[in-house]
């Protein structure tokens, strides 16, 4: 390893490059483990389950927001960046979580929401009082048009105009999400300074990095110009449903502004004050996602990696789809680094979204562990959980309530984690949880799968172990990507090591041309037979061998 990737902490060498190729486990804290019997997960609950996470072999844990919040958007509406919401515990609980995680060799990354706050944040409460107070320009305010309508045509992701009238100032404020989530004005230097102080606060408490929510929403066009229309054939949003008029615009001016790069450099400079802090940015843009990933990760003075949405789409991935995405990534971000996910807290779980049977789900897991980039796994993914069917009367997500029934929202992927069959709540809580738990999930609990060596849980452990045992899979380059007859194949290269990978992404037997090689693992990646240079792959079979 190059010495430039090393730092010293308490006399010990630390890998500053640990994030490159890391496997990151995402936790939605409301739904992981309830420790106090109120039906809502909390930080102490997470701490009690860290041994399970460590047993998977992952490198880090990403925890979705747990800051003080009125919970209109379940923590993504922050009212105090530097405290824990009582629903989740205390700062002491967070410190205990950090300590145990580090004892287990796990890094902790937390979700920072820097593009907007809650309307109950003290900053906004002051800003809305007048046009000339100390924080008057900390949020995006604008006068109405002469006829009293909003200043431009920008739309909110959650439906309706992106502008809300405020009678105190007789102005509109910008909200790209809920009306209760006013957008910060990062054109104001004091706002940037305050947010960077938040970053230091959590780094000083021991966090190892951040997931940056909506990283491309930090700045809006100073001139507030109208967004142009987006042609129907380009409306390919991943998160926003097709029934949402947000998809009818090209968001040229409401996000993705060039000033963002200078702020990200300031952000990275703060991270670099610490031995091995890192970040992954969520790029929310269906049309320019990979291009922005390239812009935001180019060089060593911006963000380390960006969270890409290309594999969070609705249609099942085909071999050629993966080849095309990687080719586009290489063109848009030759110096960049992606972080891939198949599921998260915002989309239908991929087992349901892609209609995967057990064999197909295993194949996609093995394939994921061989991709170039870092990886995010979402809680319950290791159990093969399908999307839950949450009835309208039980919905909590304002997004789903707004667009029901054409879009059912995000609650179906946010139902509680299942640990055991001890009670009807899957070992998550002693009382009814905040979202209903599907009975089918309880049969897939951690305790049940621990007893079955062929269960999905053990497949995830084997796949992660295969990746973690091979530098070429963690940090190596890609080469010779091909999608032929439903088979995805490529090579991973690192130093003198060369790994050949092939994945039959169909339910039929298939063949692929492959060099001779030695199995990376006796437990995974040998779902076929080789005769000369031809490998016959079983349906949904993988072939991963070291060839040099």
Closest CA to 540 of 367, 316, 359: 359
Question: What's phi and psi for 266, nearest 5 deg?
Answer: -65, -40
Asked whether residue 242 carries a pLDDT value surpassing 90, the answer given is no
CB 240 within 8 A of CB 311: no
CATH 3.20.20.80 fits domain 15-117+189-466? yes
Length of the chain as a residue count: 548
pTM reported for the whole predicted model: 0.96
- CA-to-CA distance for 18 and 306, rounded, in angstroms? 15
- Over residues 125-169, the pLDDT tens digits come to 999 999 999 999 999 999 999 999 999 999 999 989 999 999 999
Q: How many CA atoms lie within 13 A of 543 on its CB side?
A: 29
273 is catalytic: yes
- Over residues 441-466, the pLDDT tens digits come to 999 999 999 999 999 999 999 999 99
Asked whether residue 398 carries a pLDDT value surpassing 70, the answer given is yes
Asked whether residue 331 carries a pLDDT value surpassing 80, the answer given is yes
Element (H, E) at 291: helix 289-297
213 is catalytic: yes
21 conformational bin, left if phi > 0, alpha if psi -120 to 50, beta if neither: left
Residues 6+ apart with CB under 8 A from 419: 33, 49, 426, 427, 428, 445, 446, 447
Across the range 48-77, mean pLDDT stands at 98
- CA-to-CA distance for 424 and 419, rounded, in angstroms? 11
Q: Which of 183-187, 210-214, 238-242, 393-397 has the lowest mean pLDDT?
A: 238-242
Here the tokens at position 181 are: 């989530």
Question: Within 10 Å of residue 498's Cβ, how many Cβ atoms?
Answer: 18
Across the range 203-230, mean pLDDT stands at 98
Domain pair 15-117+189-466 / 477-546, same fold: no
Across the range 532-539, mean pLDDT stands at 97
Percent of the chain as helix, strand, coil, to the nearest 5:
30, 20, 50
Where do the structural domains in the chain lie, given as residue ranges? 15-117+189-466, 477-546
Question: Within 10 Å of residue 381's Cβ, how many Cβ atoms?
Answer: 24
Closest CA to 120 of 85, 81, 78, 87: 78
Question: Environment class of residue 122 by beta-carbon count within 10 Å: exposed (0-12), middle (13-18) or buried (19+)?
Answer: exposed
- CA-to-CA distance for 98 and 108, rounded, in angstroms? 7
- CA-to-CA distance for 150 and 156, rounded, in angstroms? 13
Asked whether residue 193 carries a pLDDT value surpassing 70, the answer given is yes
- CA-to-CA distance for 317 and 322, rounded, in angstroms? 7
In CATH terms, the superfamily for domain 477-546 is Golgi alpha-mannosidase II (2.60.40.1180)
Q: Out of 34, 213, 285, 387, which one is annotated catalytic?
A: 213
Point out which residues pair with 497 in neighbouring strands: 494
CA distances from 381 to 265, 267, 294, 404, 417 (A): 34, 31, 28, 26, 10
CA distances from 245 to 71, 221, 237, 319 (A): 25, 21, 11, 32
pLDDT averaged over the chain? 95
pLDDT band at 1 (very low <50, low <70, confident <90, very high): very low
Asked whether residue 5 carries a pLDDT value surpassing 90, the answer given is no
Asked whether residue 2 carries a pLDDT value surpassing 50, the answer given is no
CB 283 within 8 A of CB 340: no
């Amino acid at each position: 390893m190059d010495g430039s990737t090393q730092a010293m902490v308490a006399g010990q060498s630390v890998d500053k490059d640990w994030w490159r190729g890391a496997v990151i486990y995402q936790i939605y804290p409301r739904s992981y483990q309830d420790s106090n019997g109120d039906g809502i997960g909390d930080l102490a609950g997470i701490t009690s389950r860290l041994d399970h996470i460590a047993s998977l072999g992952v490198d880090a844990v990403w925890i979705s927001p747990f800051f003080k919040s009125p919970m209109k958007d379940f923590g993504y509406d922050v009212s105090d960046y530097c405290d824990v919401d009582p629903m989740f515990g205390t700062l002491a609980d967070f410190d205990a979580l950090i300590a145990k995680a580090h004892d287990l060799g796990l890094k902790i990354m937390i979700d920072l929401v820097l593009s907007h706050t809650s309307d109950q944040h003290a900053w906004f409460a002051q800003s809305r009082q007048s046009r000339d107070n100390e924080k008057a320009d900390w949020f995006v305010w604008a006068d109405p048009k002469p006829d009293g309508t909003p200043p431009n045509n920008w739309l909110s992701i959650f439906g309706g105009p992106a502008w809300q009238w405020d009678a105190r100032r007789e102005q509109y404020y910008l909200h790209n999400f809920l009306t209760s989530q006013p957008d910060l004005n990062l054109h104001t230097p004091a706002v940037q300074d305050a947010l960077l102080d938040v970053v230091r606060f959590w780094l000083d408490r021991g966090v190892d990095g951040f997931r940056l929510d909506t990283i491309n929403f930090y700045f809006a066009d100073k001139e507030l110009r109208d967004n142009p229309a987006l042609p129907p054939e380009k409306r390919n949003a991943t998160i926003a449903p097709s029934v949402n008029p947000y998809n009818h615009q090209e968001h040229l001016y409401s996000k993705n502004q060039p000033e963002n790069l200078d702020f990200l450099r300031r952000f990275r400079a703060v991270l670099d004050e610490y031995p091995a802090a890192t970040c992954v940015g969520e790029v929310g843009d269906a049309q320019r996602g990979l291009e922005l990933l390239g812009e935001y990760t180019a060089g060593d003075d911006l963000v380390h990696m960006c969270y890409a949405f290309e594999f969070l789409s609705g249609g099942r991935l085909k071999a050629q789809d993966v080849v095309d995405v990687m080719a586009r990534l290489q063109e848009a971000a030759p110096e960049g680094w992606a972080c891939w996910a198949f599921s998260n807290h915002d989309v239908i779980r991929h087992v349901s979204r892609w209609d995967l049977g057990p064999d197909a789900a295993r194949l996609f897991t093995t394939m994921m562990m061989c991709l170039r980039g870092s990886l995010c796994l979402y809680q319950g993914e290791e159990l093969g959980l399908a999307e839950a069917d949450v009835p309208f009367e039980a919905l909590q997500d304002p997004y789903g309530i707004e667009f029901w029934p054409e879009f059912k929202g995000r609650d179906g992927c946010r139902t509680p984690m299942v640990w055991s069959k001890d009670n009807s709540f899957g070992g998550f809580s002693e009382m009814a949880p905040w979202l209903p738990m599907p009975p089918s999930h309880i049969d897939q609990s951690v305790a049940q799968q621990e007893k079955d060596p062929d269960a999905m849980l053990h497949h995830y452990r084997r796949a992660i172990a295969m990746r973690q045992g091979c530098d070429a899979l963690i940090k190596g380059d890609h080469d010779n990507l091909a999608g032929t007859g439903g088979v995805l194949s490529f090579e991973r290269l690192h130093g003198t090591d060369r790994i050949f990978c092939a994945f039959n992404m169909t339910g039929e037997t298939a063949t692929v041309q492959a060099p001779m090689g030695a199995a990376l693992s006796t437990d995974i990646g040998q779902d076929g037979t080789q005769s000369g240079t031809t490998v016959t792959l079983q349906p949904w079979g993988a072939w991963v061998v070291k060839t040099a």
